[in-house]
Amino acid sequence: MESSVDVVVVGGGIAGLAAALQAARLGSSVCLLDAHDLGGRARSDERRGFTFNRGPHALYDRGAGRAALASLGVPVTGAKAPLTGARGLRDGALHVLPTSPWSLLTSDLVSPAGRVALARVLLSLPRAVTPDLVAASAREWITGATRRPDVAAVVEALVRLSTYSADPDSLSADAAVAQLRLSTGGVSYLDGGWQSIVDGLATAARAAGVEVRTGDAADGLEPGPESVAVTTGAGPVDARAVVVAAGGPADVGRLLPGVVPDDLGPPVTATCVDYGLAAPPPVRFVLGIDDPVYLSQHAPDARLAPPGKSVVCALRYGAGGRDAAEGLDRLLAVAGVGPDAVEERRVLASMTVAHAQPRPGSGLAGRPGVRVPGSDRCFLAGDWVGDTGLLGDAALASGVAAGALAARR
CATH code for the domain of 179: 1.10.405
CA 381, CA 400: separation in Å to the nearest integer? 8
According to the model, what pLDDT value does residue 234 have?
85
Per-position b or e across 196-228, b if 16+ CB within 10 A of its CB:
bbbbbbbebbeebebbbbeebbbeebebeeebb
CA distance readout (Å), 172 to 14, 49, 143: 25, 40, 14
According to the model, what pLDDT value does residue 102 have?
83
* 165 and 31 in a common domain: no
* 203 and 144 in a common domain: no
Task: Write out pLDDT tens, residues 146-199.
Answer: 999 999 999 999 999 999 999 999 999 999 999 999 999 999 999 999 999 999
| Arithmetic mean of pLDDT, 16-26 | 98
pLDDT at residue 17 is higher than 70: yes
Q: How many domains does the chain have?
A: 2
CA 220, CA 229: separation in Å to the nearest integer? 8
**Residue 82 banded pLDDT, cuts 50, 70, 90:** confident
**Residue 99 banded pLDDT, cuts 50, 70, 90:** confident
- Asked if residue 14 lies in contact with residue 392, where contact means CB atoms within 8 angstroms, the answer is yes
Task: Write out pLDDT tens, residues 317-367.
Answer: 997 777 899 999 999 999 999 999 999 999 999 899 999 999 999 999 999
Q: Chain-wide mean pLDDT for the chain? A: 95
Q: 68 lies in a domain?
A: no
Q: 123 lies in a domain?
A: yes
* 217 and 149 in a common domain: no
* 133 and 14 in a common domain: no
Task: Write out pLDDT tens, residues 200-236.
Answer: 999 999 999 999 999 998 999 999 888 999 999 888 9
Q: 355 lies in a domain?
A: no
CATH number of 378's domain? 3.50.50.60
| Arithmetic mean of pLDDT, 243-267 | 91
Closest CA relative to residue 60, chosen from 166, 154, 197: 197
**Residue 263 banded pLDDT, cuts 50, 70, 90:** confident
**Residue 1 banded pLDDT, cuts 50, 70, 90:** very low
What's the pTM?
Answer: 0.96
CA 17, CA 210: separation in Å to the nearest integer? 10
Helix (H) or strand (E) holding 19: helix 14-25
Q: 79 lies in a domain?
A: no
Domain containing 131 equals 99-187
Strands 293-299 and 285-288: antiparallel
